[in-house]
Structure 1
Amino acid sequence: MPDSRPDTTPTPKDAGTPDSTATAVIEMDRPENGDLAPYGVPGKPLVRGPFLWGLTAALGVLTAWGLAQALVSARNVIVLIVVAMFLAVGLNPIVEVLQRYRVPRRGAISIVFVGVIMLFGLFGLAIVPPVSQETSDFIQAVPGYVQELLANPTIKQLDADYQILAKLQAYVTSGDLGTTVAGGILGAGAVVLDAFFSGLTLLVLTLYFLGSLSAIKEYMLKLVPSSRRVRTRAIGDEILTGIGGYVAGNVLISVIAGGLSWLFLTIAGAKYALALALVVAVTDLIPLVGATVGAVLVTAVGALQSGTLAIACIIFFTVYQQVENYVIYPRVMRRSVDVAPAVSVIAALFGGALLGAVGALLAIPVAAAVALIVREVVLPRQAQV
């Protein structure tokens, strides 16, 4: 007989009841193929989780540390590249001057490069023979120094008390001295070879940069938005002109210092006047302290020859440094770099602390470039705010 109980099946209008919520959850658990998800509803993405965030941060720190270590390991190569580019920019004005006389660029680069090699060769020929001669003279004079020491009453008494000569003889005959000398010779040879290959690499890089300077400049301009290339080109040319003028001016000041030093040392009768004058010229390239370092070295060598020569060196270099600082340097550099004296000192100090003598040499033109960018880019923008 038919069932008279009421039908309790939910109708579509009951979709807002709790049973419909459960049905919606079940529908969410259904994948695309219609089967129920065996492991439930997936949770939130791990992108926002603390574990993945910490892992990403740790990987970022490790990557930054690895890059820093790579930069430190390649520091010598980076310094060579920077110095080579700096020299190429500094020698480029000479190449352009030769081009104005209808010399092809390749020929002008060859002439300039040969001149640079000749300067290096002249420096080596002036320095190496005196050093070799002094070393040979010292080795030949060692027996006489030993005899003079043995004749000294104080040395005789010390030898009688502590057997200094016997211990020295035992050390010489034991083989330890030979090992130490051989190690020192190998170390010095390694330093000389490293300096030679570094200098050769620097010359080759300078040649390549000098030959492709225009192409490098055009390629760098392509990285700038087209709407700003005209202004960027003008600022870049101004920076390159300033660097070239600084290099040329610094070299001119060094040549003046070396020439006057050679003239003074020749008149004063100093030995190896040309070598000492080249030392003054090279050290004078270093800002702030270079001229003082060269003066101290030459005065010390002069003191080994005679006290009168040492006094004359002190007077000459004291007077010359005042003339260079207040007369020669301002006149030569006024058209190349426009940097306040305080900024120059601070830049040279920072550059010397970071990269030594090379950093001090590069610091002033870099400071001039930064000052130009601030004056032409940063300050106008700040004025419009």
Structure 2
Amino acid sequence: MTVDQKTSQGKGEPVPPPTSGDEEPGTEHDDPTETSGGDGGEPPETPLASGGPRRPNYFVMGFVGALGVLSAWLLVNALSGAGAVFVYILVALFLAVGLNPVILLLQRMRMPRWAAILTVCLFLALFITVFVWTIVPPLSDQVSSFVAGLPQAIDQLQNARFFRELDQRYDVLARIRDMVTGADFGQQVFGGLVGVGQVVFNWLFATFTVFILTLFFMASLPGIMDVSYRFVPRSRREGVREIGDEIVRRIGAFIAGQLVVAALGGVVAFLFLWAIGSAYALTLALVVAVTALIPLVGTTIGALVASLAVALGDPLMGLVTLIFFLVYQQIESYVLAPRVMRHAVDVAPTVNITAALLGGALLGLVGALLAIPTAAALTLVLKRVIFPRLERR
């Protein structure tokens, strides 16, 4: 202790702590970062200006949470409102990828890509025109014949004993007359016609939109694929490109297989209907061929439509037609379609059926159409990527 320190101690003044150079060995000082009263090294609560602890602002937290919920709700509504547009884009992209092998085939025949795309589009437009031309005149003739023969059918129905007893017991004719002459009948008929017109307009708009989008996607498909591959790191880009090109090839093979199965169904239907003397053999054959493009239930729908059309002229022959199509459906489902699809997409029939059911449950008809190529893509990824990595572990 120095003389100055002794003097200060004698005068009663506080002695300052010794500096680092004056510390004696073995002395310990408290860490300045430690806090008194803090158990377990927990930091102290930050005091406010008034000296109290800082508390969370529950109003701000609730307001921000409400804004988040509102934003999520608006986003869900926007996506649901634009759901039809997403479906159009998905279908158009699917068709563009499926028709790409035909375009490549035309390009190998020394045709420019724009000319190949134009040729495919003209063929599609021609097919739609022929289909409508074969459907509309017979349908209008059937409606005209039905309207013209309706009074005679009603007279025959009134003369039937069963109908007379039914009318005497339940006043069927009086109920029908009251319903037709009622004030709401015209409004209901007009509303029904407006609803049918709206459905037809929506269908035409959807068809035109998908057609235009398919045209643009076919023109820009190589660029879209190149940009998609650039999102993959360079070290893995070559393998991803190989898998992506194989997926595109399988989607094209799936569409080609569906067209082959539908064409076979249409040819068989035309030959049978022509053999039994149906006046609308070509029309019904086109209906069978188009509905056969629908997975699982397409052939059944076409068979029912053709059988019903034949049964209107001859009920016995309509029953024969139904039996013929049921037999052909079994042959197509268990012999033709599995072999074509196994060669096209290399997917087991059980996977095809399961995928079509799940796709139909999620997106309806569009989901059923897209489910099988999606299953083929997932199967390819499993075989080329997932299973080899699991085997190396």
Q: TM-score, normalised by structure 2?
A: 0.83
Residue 159 and residue 250 in structure 1: after superposition, are their counterparts in 2 closer, same or farther (change >3 A)? Answer: closer
- Tell me, yes or no, if the aligned pair for 2:117 and 2:219 is still in contact at 8 Å: yes
Q: Deviations over 1:233-257 (max 9, x none)?
A: 0000000000001101111110111
Structure 2 Cα separation of the partners of residues 51 and 221 of structure 1: 47
SS at match of 1:271: coil
Q: Name whichever of 127-136 and 314-323 sits farther off.
A: 314-323
Structure 2 Cα separation of the partners of residues 173 and 319 of structure 1: 48
Amino acid aligned to 2:12? D
Counterpart among 224, 243, 250 of residue 216 in structure 1: 224
For 2:359, the equivalent position in structure 1 comes to 351
Counterpart among 84, 96, 115 of residue 92 in structure 2: 84
For 2:156, the equivalent position in structure 1 comes to 148
SS at match of 1:7: coil
Structure 2 Cα separation of the partners of residues 10 and 363 of structure 1: 88
Q: Deviations over 1:221-244 (max 9, x none)?
A: 111111111011000000000000
2:80 matches 1:72: yes
Q: Deviations over 1:288-347 (max 9, x none)?
A: 222122212222222222233223313422332233234432443343201112111110
For 1:173, the equivalent position in structure 2 comes to 181
- Tell me, yes or no, if the aligned pair for 2:311 and 2:318 is still in contact at 8 Å: yes
Q: Deviations over 1:238-297 (max 9, x none)?
A: 000000011011111101111110111011112311221111111111222221222122
Residue 38 and residue 177 in structure 1: after superposition, are their counterparts in 2 closer, same or farther (change >3 A)? Answer: closer
Counterpart among 126, 129, 133 of residue 121 in structure 1: 129
For 2:26, the equivalent position in structure 1 comes to none
Kindly report which structure 2 residues correspond to 1:127-146, keeping only aligned pairs within 5 A, or say none. 127-146=135-154
2:376 matches 1:368: yes
Q: Deviations over 1:125-177 (max 9, x none)?
A: 11111221111111222222232333345545555566554454344334321
Q: Name whichever of 183-192 and 312-321 sits farther off.
A: 312-321
Structure 1 Cα separation of the partners of residues 243 and 308 of structure 2: 46
Counterpart among 274, 280, 302 of residue 266 in structure 1: 274
How far residue 356 of structure 1 moved from its aligned partner, in angstroms, is: 1.4
Kindly report which structure 2 residues correspond to 1:97-112, keeping only aligned pairs within 5 A, or say none. 97-112=105-120
- Tell me, yes or no, if the aligned pair for 1:348 and 1:359 is still in contact at 8 Å: yes
Residue 212 and residue 55 in structure 1: after superposition, are their counterparts in 2 closer, same or farther (change >3 A)? Answer: same
- The answer for unaligned runs of 5 or more in structure 2 is 1-8, 20-28, 37-47
Amino acid aligned to 2:100? N
For 2:264, the equivalent position in structure 1 comes to 256
Counterpart among 370, 386, 391 of residue 383 in structure 1: 391
Residue 38 and residue 349 in structure 1: after superposition, are their counterparts in 2 closer, same or farther (change >3 A)? Answer: closer
Q: Name whichever of 172-181 and 107-116 sits farther off.
A: 172-181
For 1:6, the equivalent position in structure 2 comes to 11
SS at match of 1:177: helix
Shift >6 Å, 4+ stretches: 49-58
For 1:239, the equivalent position in structure 2 comes to 247
- Tell me, yes or no, if the aligned pair for 2:356 and 2:369 is still in contact at 8 Å: yes
Q: Deviations over 1:186-211 (max 9, x none)?
A: 11000000000000001001000000
Amino acid aligned to 1:340? A
- Tell me, yes or no, if the aligned pair for 2:341 and 2:347 is still in contact at 8 Å: no
- Tell me, yes or no, if the aligned pair for 2:342 and 2:348 is still in contact at 8 Å: no
Structure 1 Cα separation of the partners of residues 337 and 165 of structure 2: 58
Q: Name whichever of 87-96 and 148-157 sits farther off.
A: 148-157
How far residue 50 of structure 1 moved from its aligned partner, in angstroms, is: 8.9
- Tell me, yes or no, if the aligned pair for 1:241 and 1:336 is still in contact at 8 Å: no
How far residue 106 of structure 1 moved from its aligned partner, in angstroms, is: 0.2
Structure 2 Cα separation of the partners of residues 52 and 345 of structure 1: 52
Q: Deviations over 1:338-376 (max 9, x none)?
A: 111211111011011111122111111100000111111
2:269 matches 1:282: no
Residue 57 and residue 375 in structure 1: after superposition, are their counterparts in 2 closer, same or farther (change >3 A)? Answer: farther
- Tell me, yes or no, if the aligned pair for 1:262 and 1:274 is still in contact at 8 Å: yes
Residue 135 and residue 235 in structure 1: after superposition, are their counterparts in 2 closer, same or farther (change >3 A)? Answer: same
Q: Name whichever of 84-93 and 371-380 sits farther off.
A: 371-380
Residue 167 and residue 303 in structure 1: after superposition, are their counterparts in 2 closer, same or farther (change >3 A)? Answer: closer
Higher Rg: 2
SS at match of 2:110: coil
How far residue 12 of structure 1 moved from its aligned partner, in angstroms, is: 4.0
How far residue 9 of structure 1 moved from its aligned partner, in angstroms, is: 3.8
Structure 1 Cα separation of the partners of residues 147 and 266 of structure 2: 30
SS at match of 1:212: helix
Q: TM-score, normalised by structure 1?
A: 0.85
2:235 matches 1:227: yes
